[in-house]
């Protein structure tokens, strides 16, 4: 099972969360990736945690001020990236170009989308994984696996029909081990979460609870 | 064969082009749609020409200033719309929502994309048609069917694999009857063009030449 | 006093609102402009009402699919345009280019902004008018002149300091004659409103009530 | 004189450029700021060079995936930021909110703009500095001070009229000490450059040549 903790722009300590993620991942058979602000990639990667960018720009080396160049994310320790998160939606052509950029920099890719149709579209672009996250559930604490289990099963089927090699993750409202188990039962091979860990009083305890079913 | 003439923001007379399109379409077994500026939709539709919007916004009725509401495009005579033209690229989620908006307003939909991967993604969203237009060929006068025939065949195959009910058009550099015939030979069932007609000294003659192989 | 009724993407009859606006304006010493969807500009202008675009694109004639070309807005009867409405925010450089486009097409211009600092910035670009509309009050029914009178007075002062020839309007929550009078007392020479008229059961009665203090 | 070296997404070694900048700045009475990719901020700041972000997002702490949070730029060593570079143009409201974000994080601010009107608008938002960079000259090697000296003098006058406390820099085509001196003669108190240093075979020599007139 793959777990991605998106730190967004939360006022958490990215290194503390990353250290907890590295420790908890080592104790279980789980990959726990941490996606900090771009400026924090190097510090997060130094903890030994799997490190993801929150986004990379659809550009190559060149005159692109304010971009997040995949090559510099990788040079600072990222081994993967989210693309098209619902808070960072991209044009179709730019998701495609972002995947090209990630491939050049040898980053794993997770393309987010809202519903099974968009999941199929995202899968057609050839990422390593897609993640279905109904925007209306993000940050609610109500897990998608409970609020709308069909959307996860339909997303798994939609991606499978387009490209069976693409992994399907789910997100939105995930915070407990039960949520993670339910996601797996619906066919997801990974989960995305954010506030459930990043805003927890004790991120390590939150992560331990999350992956307990995998121990 | 479906022919769409995109008037973009060209300084042409939209009504004159539409009248020519209506006449030439009537003389052949062809649908010739004209896509004017939104402000010109009603005048173009009044000519009897098939009328398309250049884009519709991913919104429903509500507080959306500066939008192009699908319902108002339809009320002014549009029966179809382009979406995600390379000069009007949209976020993946907004192409999806634009398709929903078009469906509510009973508009036919043509989603543009740059390459076969994006064509597959577009087809997964369930439009009536997709159109492959390599951006580097737009406005060049070199037809895609000649400069890069593989991209058209690959686009046809990519859409077919995702959803065989989706038509595949091609664009970029199309201006003559030979170009149109070549597009058909590669598996396209329609063509998009713009400057070849809209900037022609005699748009009617340009259209007649274009559809001559269909007569 | 200048009154602009923004029809946004509301499900109203744009011609009926425009006819009411034309009649009520004729009965009072007021300009009442109606800003419909671009596709409805011609029908609205035919009523004789002062007609505004909700936005024009920062482009000249050329290859710009999905744009709203100022020249075509004008050709269909618009005599003015909003720019940078809070639901249609533009890049600084594009407000500047939109003003150039409007000037080429001989359209009057109203640039919207959120607060006095942005009003000063907008005024520096040389529009005919600026309009202060705190986003948090739009659509509330609580008029800005009551909820935050200082912001209107500060906006008037900020524009005056940069360019005294620029008119200052205010919007957000305006619906009654009292609101209009209060706006004038704070130094505004016009008001923007939307739902108060466009969503009224009787738009004509709403407009008559609005301009009663001017009769 | 203030010198900012924008590394954009160039394939240079950001640490090597920063070390050169720190050394050359120490040898002269000049501030030489280096603006790397966000992911490289910490490594650049560790060299002792003055470190700028290329952009910060118009957001506070919260759910903002893919943003560049001013607070994290500052925590990783940035002491200033560009905003609204011509390759990273922002909405007027977002420049305003980006300035608020920078102020919260105690970052100095340089707002870029294309022409004197936009410079006046930018100055009205209260940044520490504005920078006039005609987009058509960026990357040309022809300095703005030579190609269009009036635009620099007009920008200085425009900013002065709005807020005399705002510094005015100029950019586009700057690479030599002569260019820097010419910029100063036109009233600029700083220069922005990029390829002239970042793509130089010997960035240190390029910087030494640039600041020679200040020695």
Complex ipTM value: 0.95
Q: b/e map of B89-127 (b: 16 or more CB within 10 Å)?
A: bbbbbbbbbbbbbbeebebbbbbbbbbbbbbbbbbbbbb
- In the structure, what pLDDT confidence band is assigned to residue B103 with cuts at 50, 70 and 90? very high
Predicted local distance difference test score (pLDDT) of residue D86: 94
For all residues of chain A together, what is the average pLDDT? 94
Q: In this complex, is the C-beta atom of D109 within 8 Å of any C-beta atom belonging to chain C? A: no
Q: In this complex, is the C-beta atom of A67 within 8 Å of any C-beta atom belonging to chain D? A: yes
**Which three-class secondary structure state does DSSP give residue B93?**
helix
- Catalytic hit among B46, B71, B85, B181: B85
Over residues B53-81, the mean pLDDT reads: 98
**Which residues in chain D touch residue A40, judged by CB atoms under 8 angstroms apart?**
72, 75-76
Predicted local distance difference test score (pLDDT) of residue B8: 97
Predicted local distance difference test score (pLDDT) of residue A214: 83
Domain boundaries, chain B: 2-170+184-192+199-214
Q: b/e map of B66-77 (b: 16 or more CB within 10 Å)?
A: bbbbbbbbbbbb
- In the structure, what pLDDT confidence band is assigned to residue D12 with cuts at 50, 70 and 90? very high
Predicted local distance difference test score (pLDDT) of residue D137: 78
Whether D174 shows a pLDDT value over 90: the answer reads: no
- Of the two residues B148 and D20, the one the predictor is more confident about is D20
Predicted local distance difference test score (pLDDT) of residue A142: 84
Predicted local distance difference test score (pLDDT) of residue C140: 75
Residue partners of D132: CB distance under 8 A and separation at least 6: D112, D113, D114, D115, D116, D119, D144, D151, D152, D155, D168, D169, D170, D171
What backbone phi and psi angles, to 5 degrees, belong to A173?
80, 5
For A5-52, write each residue's pLDDT tens digit.
999 999 999 999 999 999 999 998 889 999 999 999 999 999 999 999
Copy the structure tokens of residue A111: 């393309």
Copy the structure tokens of residue D139: 């990357």
Q: In this complex, is the C-beta atom of C9 within 8 Å of any C-beta atom belonging to chain B? A: yes
For B2-52, write each residue's pLDDT tens digit.
999 999 999 999 999 999 999 999 998 889 999 999 999 999 999 999 999
pTM above 0.80, yes or no: yes
Q: In this complex, is the C-beta atom of D185 within 8 Å of any C-beta atom belonging to chain C? A: no
Q: How close D65 gets to chain C, by Cα (Å)?
A: 21
User: Nearest residue on chain A to D194, judged by CA atoms?
Assistant: A63
- Catalytic hit among D133, D136, D153, D181: D133
Q: Give chains near B: 3+ CB pairs under 8 A.
A: A, C
Contact assignment for B96 to A115 by CB distance below 8 Å = yes
**Continuous H helices in chain B:** 14-27, 41-45, 70-75, 92-104, 116-124, 144-147, 149-162, 177-185, 195-198, 203-211
Predicted local distance difference test score (pLDDT) of residue D144: 79
Neighbours of D43 (CB within 10 A): 19
Q: Long-range contact list for D125-129, CB < 8 A, 24+ apart?
A: D125/C117, D125/C118, D125/C120, D125/C121, D125/D95, D125/D96, D125/D99, D126/C117, D126/D99, D126/D163, D126/D166, D127/D83, D127/D99, D127/D166, D128/D80, D128/D166, D128/D167, D129/D2, D129/D166, D129/D167, D129/D168, D129/D169, D129/D189, D129/D190
Do D10 and D199 contact (CB within 8 A), yes or no? yes
Do B67 and C9 contact (CB within 8 A), yes or no? yes
- Catalytic hit among B60, B133, B181, B208: B133
Q: How close A117 gets to chain B, by Cα (Å)?
A: 5
Predicted local distance difference test score (pLDDT) of residue D29: 80
What backbone phi and psi angles, to 5 degrees, belong to C115?
-155, 170
- In the structure, what pLDDT confidence band is assigned to residue D145 with cuts at 50, 70 and 90? confident
Check the annotation: does B194 bind a ligand.
yes
Active site residue B85: yes
Q: How close B155 gets to chain C, by Cα (Å)?
A: 22
Predicted local distance difference test score (pLDDT) of residue A134: 83
Copy the structure tokens of residue A70: 């995949």
In chain A, which residues have pLDDT < 70? none
Contact assignment for A63 to D138 by CB distance below 8 Å = yes
**Which residues in chain B touch residue C16, judged by CB atoms under 8 angstroms apart?**
none
Q: How close C73 gets to chain B, by Cα (Å)?
A: 6
Whether D9 shows a pLDDT value over 90: the answer reads: yes
Helices B116-124 and A116-124 sit at what angle, rounded to 10 degrees? 170
Could you report how far apart the first and last alpha carbons of chain A are, in Å? 11
Do D200 and D11 contact (CB within 8 A), yes or no? no
Copy the structure tokens of residue B199: 């900037």
Predicted local distance difference test score (pLDDT) of residue B147: 82
Predicted local distance difference test score (pLDDT) of residue D42: 98
Active site residue D27: no
- A96: closest CA among D87, B113, D68, B171? B113
Do D106 and D74 contact (CB within 8 A), yes or no? yes
**Which residues in chain A touch residue B90, judged by CB atoms under 8 angstroms apart?**
91-92
CATH C-level class of D2-170+184-192+199-214: alpha beta
Do C109 and C100 contact (CB within 8 A), yes or no? no
Do B171 and B155 contact (CB within 8 A), yes or no? no
pLDDT in tens, chain C (215 residues): 999 999 999 999 999 999 999 999 999 888 999 999 999 999 999 999 999 999 999 999 999 999 999 999 999 999 999 999 999 999 999 999 999 999 999 999 999 999 999 999 999 999 999 999 988 777 777 887 788 889 999 999 999 999 999 999 998 788 899 889 999 999 999 999 999 899 999 999 999 999 998 87
- D170: closest CA among D154, D185, D189, D147? D189
What backbone phi and psi angles, to 5 degrees, belong to A60?
-100, 180
Which residues 159-178 of chain B have a CB within 8 Å of chain C? none
User: Nearest residue on chain A to D56, judged by CA atoms?
Assistant: A66
Residue partners of C205: CB distance under 8 A and separation at least 6: none
């Amino acid at each position: 099972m793959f777990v991605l903790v998106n730190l967004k722009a939360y006022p958490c300590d990215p290194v503390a969360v990353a250290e907890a993620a590295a420790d908890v991942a080592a104790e279980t058979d789980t990959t726990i990736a941490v996606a900090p602000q771009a400026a924090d990639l190097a510090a997060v990667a130094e903890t030994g945690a799997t490190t993801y960018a929150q986004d990379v720009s659809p550009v190559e080396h060149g005159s692109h001020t304010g971009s997040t160049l995949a090559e510099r994310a990788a040079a600072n320790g990222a081994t993967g990236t989210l693309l098209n998160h619902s808070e960072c939606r991209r044009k179709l052509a730019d998701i495609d170009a972002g995947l090209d950029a990630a491939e050049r920099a040898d980053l794993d890719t997770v393309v987010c989308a809202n519903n099974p149709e968009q999941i199929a579209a995202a899968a057609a672009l050839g990422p390593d994984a897609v993640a279905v996250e109904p925007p209306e559930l993000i940050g609610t604490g109500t897990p998608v696996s409970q609020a709308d289990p069909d959307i996860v099963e339909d997303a798994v089927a939609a991606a499978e029909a387009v490209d069976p090699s693409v992994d399907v993750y789910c997100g939105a409202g995930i915070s407990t081990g039960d949520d993670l188990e339910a996601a797996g039962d619906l066919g997801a091979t990974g989960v995305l979460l954010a506030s459930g860990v990043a805003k927890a009083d004790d991120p390590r305890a939150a992560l331990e609870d999350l992956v307990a079913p995998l121990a």
